[in-house]
Chain A
Amino acid sequence: MAEKSAKPVKNPRIAMPEQDPQVRARNFLEVPTGYTNKMAQEEAARCLQCKKPACVNGCPVGVDIPGFIDLISKGDITAAIRNLWSKNALPAVCGRVCPQEIQCEGLCILGKKGEPVAIGNLERYCADWERENGTGELPPKAASTGKKVAVVGSGPSGLTVAGDLIVKGHDVTIFEAFHKAGGVLVYGIPEFRLPKAIVAQEINFLERLGCKLECNAVVGRTVSVDELFEQGFDAVYIGVGAGLPRFMNIPGENLVGILSANEYLTRANLMKAYKFPDVDTPIPIGKNVVVLGAGNVAMDAARTAMRLGAESVKIVYRRSREEMPARAAEIHHAEEEGIDMFLLTNPTKYLGNEKGRLTGMVCLQMELGEPDDSGRRRPVPIEGSEFEMDCDLCIVAVGSGANPLLTSETPDMKLNKWGYVHTDEKTGKTTKKAVWAGGDIVTGAATVILAMGAGREAANSMHDYLNLGW
């Protein structure tokens, strides 16, 4: 795994082989290449099989972690993947993108004195093994209930709801605004971190289970939520994601060469612009690239820019390393690939030329002051610390807000003051009858697994409703 400690550890975890940083920094192939069977066995054997496993408490969807790991160490991968599927419809995805270090692995008892079990790596191993060697046999499905469910959005939370409800016997249709399903898994997370063939396979799995998929369907435009009920749907789940890019709101932001991370990554991932001109969608190639922000999206954008041939890529972040929201592994991978971190640095304006193209930015050095509302120490500018930074491409990855496209067309569904959907915390019920919501459109931008956790809660509540009523 990524983290390296100074002292040699007893009983170290089995590291997953990775492409060499120098090589991978210029290609789009997946970075970690996967465990061999032997490696997986060895790593699984490290699990203490705790009677009261703390790791499970750290998992938003409650995966039976000791259970599936035990099956790996017994060599029964078919049973292990079925154990995983019973709690998690997208193990190949979660094994790759979950922030395990603050969830399951963060609570692993082995981590107290040494390194925790590589739960994420083992989860990925099972899903990859099944894809390559499995029988393709589907999990059992309950008899048809005759109830119709519409899932709006095909990102992680929507796919979880669809997967849960289809096996419970409901008739599920997924509506996706883009031309391809997967939500953030296809437009946001790059190929080198989550190969699109894997996402396609997970979606194909749901289709084989009987889920119907309607792409190019913008709910709120092509069809409204109320019209879905008129069409005979009995319940609706809204998992459309946050989907409104935030910008810095500083002078010069509309210069050519400044893109939201959403746009940059959508071009690169969904539209496959990294293959331009073999595909038709272009993407700006920066020589000196600056990425604003330090979350997973920022790391994805920075690493994409490097792969597209940048000479230098800088992460510019106004707080310190400690506050960087990205997964430890992403930061580590980014630095290995030659991405520079400009921490405690904040841009104040963009600079451009007569053609309206970005040429640089003015930044201020910051220092940490008193804690702010988020509990993190507030970055404050150091007087007279202004300096200029050359850059011809800037990717703004400072978070997302609530996209009002669907919510503004669904007036009887209550929103909070930031425009996110108000839901019952336990069930995901909105204030509109027979409508649930979850994922980033409820919480604001978060992680894949939290969205899946919300999907799981909502699916349970929807199942109860379809059997018992609101």
Chain B
Amino acid sequence: MFTSLRDRIFLLRDLTLRDLRLRYVGSIMGLFWSVVHPIFTLLLYTLVFSQVIRPNWSQLQTIGSFASYLFAGLLPWIQFHESITRCATVFIDHSNLIKKVKFPVELLPGSMVLSSIANQLIALCVFLALLLLSYHNASLSLFWLVPAIALQMLVTVGAGLLVASSNVFVRDIHQLLGVGLPFLFWATPIVYPPASVPARYQWISAANPLTHLVALYRAALLGGQAPETAALLYLSLFCAATFAAGWALLCRIRGVLSDYV
């Protein structure tokens, strides 16, 4: 059973499709919600941060370019936030499956991440269409999306495995995320420009890998300068380390997982 990679891929695919369908099961607009949701979030943030609170966006003149800037940061954040939150309870939610059949359980958090990435890609396509129609011509910088999405998946799966595994034993992890994730959101320059962080807090911003991920997205979607090599290296190492830690933790608890869910 599950000796071949193919079987795993089939299961991962089915788990992901199942999750995507489950999100919208019974709703009239179905998958359309995955477009509506990020666009409304974007509209809301754009409205608040261009009309009400006005950080010092020196280089961004129009509301349109501000919206693009905001979106490039919000997009990976929404996916990250959603994946991590859902991963926290994924083993407990699927306890009937884990207790009943022997299967590669890492595919459960994996499918959560994949389904939210799929959602993100839909929103991204809509955004790109708008972007190409209104402002830019297709730019080579879009190729930065490939490493950006790859690294994002790596870090999300890693963090997802960490919270999924630990939450089985200590259920406070799920609650802790509710407190910790907003903190991470505000520690990442998403709704404010990185430059506006006071000098003595710059190190927080620099240490936060999400800062660099968001920067990579901005480089890809908005053109401009390519990300720094050092930042990219740091981001890659962090993502790989997170994945390794998540995988190691899962391997430790795999044998007894079904005894605790």
Answer yes or no: are A and B bound together in one complex: no
Residues of chain B touching chain A, judged by Cβ–Cβ distance below 8 Å, are: none
Residues of chain A touching chain B, judged by Cβ–Cβ distance below 8 Å, are: none
